């Protein structure tokens, strides 16, 4: 694992704790999810999941 990736993984929990403590985690996640939805990522991922289920013959 590259050093920069290791550093990022070490800082992620610290950043998340600070966001939770300040009450900004919910705002961050809401904004993040809105951006993913606006970009079409959510719909695309859901469609890929449906295709994968059909391809594997999995039923609910």
Q: Low-confidence residues of the chain, pLDDT below 70? A: 1, 60
Looking at residue 60, what is its pLDDT? 61
Question: Domain boundaries in the chain?
Answer: 3-56
Measure Cα distances from 26 to 13, 23, 51 in Å: 15, 7, 31
What pLDDT is stored for residue 36 in this prediction?
98
Give yes or no for a contact between 42 and 36, defined as CB atoms under 8 angstroms apart: yes
pTM score of the predicted model: 0.63
Q: Could you give the 3-state DSSP secondary structure of residue 33?
A: helix
Cβ–Cβ under 8 Å, residues 43 and 51? no
């Amino acid at each position: 694992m590259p050093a920069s990736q290791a550093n990022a993984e070490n800082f992620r929990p610290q950043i998340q704790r600070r966001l939770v403590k300040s009450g900004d985690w919910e705002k961050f996640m809401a904004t993040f999810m809105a951006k993913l939805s606006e970009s079409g990522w959510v719909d695309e991922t859901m469609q890929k999941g449906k295709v994968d289920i059909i391809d594997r013959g999995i039923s609910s």
